A and B are shown apart, each in its own frame.
Chain A
Amino acid sequence: MKVSIKRDSSFQEFEVPRHPSQTVLDVVTYIQRELDPTLAYRFACRVGMCGSCAMTVNGAPRWTCRTHVDKVARNDRIEISPLKNLPVIRDLVTDMSGFFDKWARARGQFEGRLSRNEDFSRVRPESPDRLQVDAAIECIGCAVCYSACEVVSWNPRYLGPAALNRAWTLVQDERDAGKIERLRAVAGDAGCHSCHTHMSCTERCPKALSPTASIAGLKREVAKALLKGEV
């Protein structure tokens, strides 16, 4: 199989043997260990838990550890490049700091209202708000959605699907005390109102989440807060 890997501004070709159940991460690891030890890439768990091995495979962002070569190879060829919309450190390794800074800018931190002396909150699992949180909470921050989002490429200030999805899980969390400040943080040109509902994030999310639905929820909540004069 021929594998093209983006290094700096050009692609380098490698010949890699095919194996049954081979993943794209297996391919990259083979190249680094057997063909060119200078190739830089990032991975940790190899089983779809950590989200660190995401790369662009044949034009689409994917977890390489959960992507079988059989599914993506075209004419026995694969093209691998770093995630889009993130600065490249070297070869297939991107700088994720801007991505996570946006989580902080979207006020992605839980703000409790109870002290340690009070009994813990009881959230009914079947409550509508909790069901909305459950639908969005499993994000592991792999940046596949961020890389797939056209709005991020057009507006670098845009917070992106993952940060907004995180904000939505907190807006719907009845224990959280920072709702209004969070709604202020996610509204506007860099926030939920820039989303065009292209749904690239939802199509590409390896956890089958729908950041698009979360962002739509934020738009509704911001509008309601505005009409109530809260933001």
Chain B
Amino acid sequence: MRSDTLLWLAQRSSAAVLALCVSVHLVTIVYAVRGGLSAAEILGRTRGSAAWLAFYVLFVIASSVHAPIGLRAVLSEWLRWRGASRDLFLLAFAALLLFAGMRAVLAVFG
């Protein structure tokens, strides 16, 4: 009961962070590529930017929290997969999202 409530709080708060992050992310993309940008030009702007690094680290963490909790409901309701094996799978999924996301962030901003 406590864990379900904590997961709900985690999903709600990560959703609030994602609403902001996704908006900023999309608006920035649309704004930045209006005149066309090469990969080298993009990297030139992102590398060494501490503010963008912090923003995308937050984005990746929020995604890694939010997505597995949503997937938990899908697995429970559609596949009737419950219990410790499901939660271990979801922990692994969260770790994969965090690893892949952080790898991409460090490549672009590091």
The stretch from B24-32, B72-80, B87-95 touching chain A is B72-80
- Per-position 1/0 for B40-70, Cβ under 8 A of A: 0000000000000000000000000000000
> B residues within 8 A CB of A223?
5, 8-9
User: With A184-B1, A187-B1, A231-B1 as given contacts, are A155 and B6 in contact (CB-CB < 8 Å)?
Assistant: no
Point out the residues of chain B lying under 8 angstroms from A191, CB to CB.
Answer: 1, 4
A188 touches B9 (CB 8 A): no
A231 near B4 with CB under 8 A, answer no
Residues on the A chain within 8 Å of B5, using CB: 187-188, 193, 222-223, 226, 231
Contact between A154 and B77 (Cβ–Cβ < 8 Å)?
Answer: yes
- Shortest distance between the CB of B57 and any CB in chain A (Å): 26
Q: State how many angstroms separate the Cβ of B83 from the closest Cβ of chain A.
A: 11
Q: From residue A11, how far is it (CB to closest CB) to chain B in Å?
A: 28
Chain A min CB distance to B76 (Å) = 7
- Knowing A187-B1, A188-B1, A231-B1, say if A196 contacts B73 (CB, 8 Å): yes
Q: When chains A and B are docked, how far (Å) is the Cα of A193 from the Cα of B82? A: 15
A191 to B78 CA separation, bound complex (whole angstroms): 17
For the complex, is B34 an interface residue (Cβ under 8 Å from A)?
A: no
Chain A residues near B4 (CB-CB < 8 A): 187-189, 191, 193
Point out which of B1, B2, B9 has the most chain A C-beta atoms below 10 A from its C-beta.
Answer: B1
The verdict on A167 contacting chain B, using a C-beta distance below 8 Å, is: no
**Measured CA separation A223–B9 after assembly (Å):** 7
For residue B14, give the distance in angstroms from its CB to the closest CB of chain A: 14
A194, CB-defined interface residue at 8 Å: yes
A151 touches B (CB below 8 Å): yes
Decide if B77 touches A226 in the complex (CB within 8 Å).
no
Residues of B contacting A231 with CB < 8 Å? Answer: 1-2, 5
What 1/0 mask marks residues of chain A from 144 to 156 whose CB sits below 8 Å from any chain B CB?
A: 0000000100110
CB-CB < 8 A to B82: which residues of A?
189
B81 to chain A, nearest CB (A): 12
- A151-B77, A155-B76, A155-B77 known; A193 and B8 CB under 8 Å? yes
For B76, what are the chain A residues with a Cβ–Cβ distance below 8 Å?
Answer: 154-155, 189
A219 at the interface (CB under 8 A from B): yes
Query: Within 8 Å CB of A188, what residues of B?
Result: 1, 4-5
With A184-B1, A188-B1 given, is the CB distance from A219 to B8 under 8 Å? yes
Can you offer 17 A-B residue contacts whose CB atoms are under 8 A? A155-B76, A155-B77, A187-B4, A188-B4, A188-B5, A189-B4, A189-B76, A189-B82, A193-B4, A193-B5, A193-B7, A194-B73, A219-B8, A222-B5, A223-B9, A231-B1, A231-B5
Q: Which 7 A-B pairs have the closest CB atoms?
A: A154-B77, A188-B1, A188-B4, A187-B1, A226-B5, A193-B4, A193-B8
Chain B interfacial positions (CB closer than 8 Å to A): 1-2, 4-9, 73, 76-78, 82
Q: Other than the known A154-B77, A187-B1, A189-B4, what 4 A-B pairs have Cβ atoms closer than 8 Å?
A: A193-B5, A226-B6, A226-B9, A231-B5
